[in-house]
Structure 1
C-alpha cells in the first residue's frame, strides 16, 4: 500500500533565494516553550550543534537575530524569531488538513490503479483531534484511512452522495443540541444511515493565557477592543456559534474579526497564540496544544455516520473493535476535554435525534 506525504515549501527571495528549513520552526517552538537551546534541540530531534548552526545560518540570511541569549534568563526569541515561529505554526495548522486530504486522495487513486487489496475507509469529517489519532490506530490494523476534513454538514452531504464511507459530525448536549438535531436529521433520512458513538469533547472560548480580555460568555466577543477569529461556514462549530449569536441577538457587525475564518480548531488556536486575535470558539484540546486559556461553554457529542448496509463490512467491524479497545481509550485520555463513555456503540439515527429533542423539552 502506497502512502503519500505532501509538505509545503517556503522560498525566501531577496538579494539571494533560500528554501526554508522547517526544522527551524520546531526549534523556535522549543525555545519559546522551554527557554533553553538544549531542550529546544531535543524538541526538534536534532543535535545541539545542528541547532546552533541552523540559527546562525538564518540569522545571517535575515541580517538580524532570531534569539536573544542572556545570562540567568536563558534563550528567548527576538521579535523576528517570534513572528517567524507564529507564521510557521499558523501555516502548518491551516495547510495540514488540506495537504493530508490531498495526500490521502492521491494515494487512494494510485492504490486502486495498482490493485492494492488493502481494506480501506473513506472518511469525511469535521476537524477533530481524536479523528486524526484514529487513522494511526487503524493503520496498525491494516486498514487504510482516507480522511478529508469538511464541515459537519458538508461531510453528511458527501455521505448521502456516496462519496465517503463515514461522516464525522458533532452537536452540543442540552437544548442547543436539539436545535442542531433538527438540521442534522434533514441530512440523515431514517433507515438509510446508522450512527456510531465516538467521543465527547469540551467546546468553549479559546483565549490568551490568563484571559486578559475577561471573556466569560458569547456577548463578550462583541465588546470593543476584542479581536475574534471565526470558523468557516458549513462547520458544526460555526453553526453552534451562529445559534448562540442569534439567540442573544448580537449584531454581527460589532464582532471585530467575524469575517476572518479558519478551517480547524488548531488554526484558531495558533492565530490566538500568535497574538493576532484575542478569542475564538473551539475545543479545549486546541487551547491546551498552544498553552492558551480556555473558558468552557458546553460539552459536545462527536458521532460517526455510515450507511446502514455497511455496518457489517470488514472495515466498519475493525473500526468498532478499535473504538472499543485500550489504544483508543489511551488516545482519548491524552486529549484535554475529551471523554469516550460508550465508544463504538451503533445507534439508530432516529433514536439519537429523538433523545436530543426530548432533552430540550425537559
Structure 2
C-alpha cells in the first residue's frame, strides 16, 4: 500500500470557482516535450477530441492561449502555457518532499489497522454512474475498503456468477425495451442465491448543447448531416442501451456522424458536448446538469445491486445497505437531475424489476 499526495489548481472569478483538471497540466508538459497535442493526448490516455476540448475550455476561462499551432512544426506552448507549467513544476519541487513524508507517515499508521479491516473489503463490479461513485466515497469515508470496477451490466453479472466479485451493479430499461433484454439478465441471475437491492431509478437520454442550437428532438435527428455525435465505448451498458434504441427505431448507426468516436464515461461525453466539439451525446440527466447542458429524456431505468443472499449478514454488506437507506444519504443526492432514490437500499423482488420492465 502506497499513498501519494498532490495539489490542484483552482481558478476563481468572484464567487465562481473552478478546479483545473490535472489532465491539463499533463497535456502542457507532454506538448512541451513532444511538440504535438495528439501525442500528448495519447500519453494521457484520452482522445484527441477530449484533449482539444479541454484546452479550448481553459483558454476561454483564462482569456489567453495556452498553446500555439505552427504549420509544419507541430504545437508549442504559448507564453501563458509556459508560465502555468513552470509554476506547477516549481511548486512540485518545493512541496513534494514534505508531501511524500506525510504520505509515508499515513501509510504506516493505516497499515496498523489494515489487518483488522481486511475482512470488510468489498469488490464491486458496476456500471458507471454518479450514485455508484458517491457510494464508493461514502464507504471509504467509513474505512470500509471497496474495490470498484466499471463494466457493462451483463459483464458485471457474469463476474458475480463466476465468483470474480462480491456484488454486481446493473441497470435495465423500464418498458418494452426492458422486456426484450430480460432473458439476457435472468440467464445470469439465480433468484435462490442472489438478492436484488435497489439503488436508484434514473433517466438516460440525449445530452445536447445549452439552448439546443441544432434543435435536436429525437434519436432520428442523430442521422442528420449537420449533427455531430459523441458515443460511449463499445461494451458499456449505456452503449448497449443506445444501440438497442437505434435498432428499435430502425436507425442506421452508420448514418450518424461521430458514432465511431468513443469516450469512456458519462462525464467525458458531457465535457465533449460542452466544449462544442460534438453537438450531442447519450447519457445521464444528472451529468448534463453538471455541465449546464440541455437534456432530452428517452428512457428510465432501474439500477440495482445484485448481492449474494447467503452473505447479506456480513458486516460490509450490512453497512452498504444501511448507508443506502439513510435519509441523509438520499438527501445528499437529491439535487442530481433524473435520479429517484426513494427505494434506495430496499430489497426488491425479481418481479419488481423484470416484470416492471415489461
Give the C-alpha shift of residue 169 in structure 1.
Answer: 1.1
Instruction: Output the CA distance in 2 between the equivalents of 1:113 and 1:207.
Output: 47
Provide TM-score, normalisation by structure 1. Answer: 0.70
Match of 1:314 in 2: 315
Instruction: Output the CA distance in 2 between the equivalents of 1:177 and 1:77.
Output: 47
Match of 1:278 in 2: 279
Match of 1:260 in 2: 261
Deviations 1:30-74 (A, max 9, x none): 5xxxxx3x446x5449xxxxxxxx9xx99xx99xx9768xxxxxx
The DSSP-based 3-state class of the residue aligned with 2:186 is helix
1:90-239 paired onto structure 2 within 5 Å: 115-118=115-118, 119-239=120-240
Match of 2:63 in 1: 77
Give the C-alpha shift of residue 303 in structure 1.
Answer: 0.6
Classify 1:350/1:188 alpha carbon distance in 2 versus 1 (closer, same or farther; 3 Å). farther
Classify 1:247/1:281 alpha carbon distance in 2 versus 1 (closer, same or farther; 3 Å). same
Classify 1:234/1:189 alpha carbon distance in 2 versus 1 (closer, same or farther; 3 Å). farther
Match of 1:342 in 2: 343
Give the C-alpha shift of residue 349 in structure 1.
Answer: 3.4
Give the C-alpha shift of residue 189 in structure 1.
Answer: 3.1
Match of 1:324 in 2: 325
Classify 1:186/1:249 alpha carbon distance in 2 versus 1 (closer, same or farther; 3 Å). same
Q: Which runs of 4+ in 1 moved over 3 A?
A: 2-7, 42-45, 65-68, 78-81, 110-116, 348-351
Classify 1:161/1:171 alpha carbon distance in 2 versus 1 (closer, same or farther; 3 Å). same
What is the root-mean-square deviation in Å for CA atoms of aligned residues? Answer: 3.4
Give the C-alpha shift of residue 124 in structure 1.
Answer: 1.0
The DSSP-based 3-state class of the residue aligned with 1:115 is helix
The DSSP-based 3-state class of the residue aligned with 1:280 is strand
Q: Is the 8 A contact 1:190 1:350 kept in 2?
A: no
Structure 1: gaps spanning 5 or more residues: 8-20, 31-35, 46-53, 69-74, 85-106
Give the C-alpha shift of residue 191 in structure 1.
Answer: 1.8
Provide TM-score, normalisation by structure 2. Answer: 0.71
Q: Is the 8 A contact 2:205 2:285 kept in 1?
A: yes
Q: Is the 8 A contact 1:171 1:236 kept in 2?
A: no
Classify 1:189/1:290 alpha carbon distance in 2 versus 1 (closer, same or farther; 3 Å). same
Instruction: Output the CA distance in 2 between the equivalents of 1:282 and 1:131.
Output: 15
Instruction: Output the CA distance in 1 between the equivalents of 2:187 and 2:332.
Output: 32
